[in-house]
Amino acid sequence: MADYLAIDIGGTFIKYALLNDQMQLHGHRQIETKENINQAILKQVESIISHVADEVNISGVGISTAGIVDREKGEILYAGPTIKNYKGTAFKAYLSRKFHFPVHVENDVNAALMGELWLGAARNEKDVFCITLGTGIGGAYFHQEIMDGCHHQANSVGYMLYDPVTKTNYEARASTAALNMIIEKELGKGLSAKDVFDRARLGEGRCMSIIESWCKEVARGLAQIILLIDPESILIGGGISRQGEFLLTKIQTQVEQFLPDHFLKTEIKIAQLYNDAALYGAVYPFFKED
């Protein structure tokens, strides 16, 4: 059986790997995402596929990408400022014609959720919301199927909770990019979020205060999701999820203050597949069809 090529396009890096018939990812690589001038990202993806296809027999390509995606057309409907000139990028039409094998395209948070439903922390669940904390904040909701909304714009949670005083929205306060900005402002340059979490675990007061304040902002948004959707579970993904139970506990202890008494029934969990979740989810449609 030939491998499937999974590609995950972000604003900073394009990651890719092959999935074999044992459901194992292998051959991980990444390249920096170019500034998207003259379809630069589409050309990068074309180059990746050409290079891998010269070495391996590929059965199909799954693409996970930032932005709002029309999965039937395999095309970008909308993208924020992270990737400029991205709207209208027709991955599926162009790449299928170029390489003559099937191509699936999916929003990156949807893909991450599908990966977790398939092989991760949400296996066998019927109703789960996934939130990814990274450069921005993305959301995805599965209720028997991925719920896109009428205009494919559902679950754009990073834009909610706008504060007209600070002129910031949820992701501007609760993303890991926001956490890094707080760390630099409070502690100076040179410390990563991981460093601050490590110090907080050891009980260092300033680091603990920064983490707890940031987790409060994360919890504020999770409460809104619970109030609107009432999912069985919420899955927290993104690189910061590697902080595991320590992160989870800090968030869980603060969610209830934004909800009515005895209201919290949704289970909040940490993703298991970390940065591989979207790669798994990108190629899941090939196995779903089997």
Check residue 1 and give its pLDDT. Answer: 57
Please state the φ and ψ torsions of residue 13, each to the nearest 5 degrees. Answer: -130, 155
Strand segments, DSSP code E, in the chain are 3-9, 13-19, 25-32, 58-65, 68-70, 75-78, 103-107, 127-133, 137-143, 233-237, 267-270
Through-space distance between the first and last CA atoms of the chain, rounded to whole angstroms = 13
Under 8 Å between Cβ of 275 and 239:
yes
- Look at residue 268 in the predicted model and tell me its pLDDT: 97
Work out the percent of the chain whose per-residue pLDDT is above 90: 86
CA 205 to chain centre: 31
Which of 264, 265, 245, 287 lies closest to 117 in space, CA to CA? 287
250 within 8 A of 208, measured Cβ to Cβ: no
* pLDDT tens-digit series, residues 19-75: 998 889 999 999 999 999 999 999 999 999 999 999 999 999 999 999 999 999 999
Contact call for residues 271 and 116 (beta carbons, < 8 A): yes
Give CA 239 to chain center in angstroms: 9
pLDDT of residue 136: 87
Beta bridge partner(s), residue 277 = none
Give the whole-angstrom CA distance, residue 75 versus residue 89.
Answer: 6
pLDDT at 81: 77
Instruction: Give the helix/strand (H/E) hosting 252.
Output: helix 244-255
Angle between helices 108-119 and 277-288 (to 10 degrees): 70
Beta strands 127-133 and 137-143, pairing class: antiparallel
Name which of 57, 100, 104 is nearest 287 in CA terms. 104
Q: Are the C-beta atoms of 87 and 78 separated by less than 8 Å?
A: yes
How many Cβ atoms sit within 10 Å of the Cβ of residue 126? Answer: 11
The confidence score (pLDDT) of residue 216 equals 97
Q: Which two tokens stand for residue 20?
A: 């074999």
Residue 32 burial by CB count (10 A; 0-12/13-18/19+): exposed, middle or buried? Answer: exposed
Helices within 56-192 (DSSP H only): 91-99, 108-119, 170-174, 176-187
Nearest in space to 10 (alpha carbons), one of 36, 47, 49, 28: 36
Per-residue model confidence (pLDDT) at position 261: 93
Q: Which tens digits make up the pLDDT trace of 155-185? A: 999 999 999 999 999 999 999 999 999 999 9
Return d(Cα 123, Cα 172) in angstroms, integer. Answer: 31
The pLDDT of residue 218 is 98
Domains of the chain, with CATH numbers? 3-112 (3.30.420.40), 123-272 (3.30.420.40)
Looking at per-residue pLDDT, the higher value among 2 and 135 belongs to: 135
pLDDT at 289 over 60: no
Please determine, for residue 3, whether its predicted confidence score (pLDDT) is greater than 70: yes
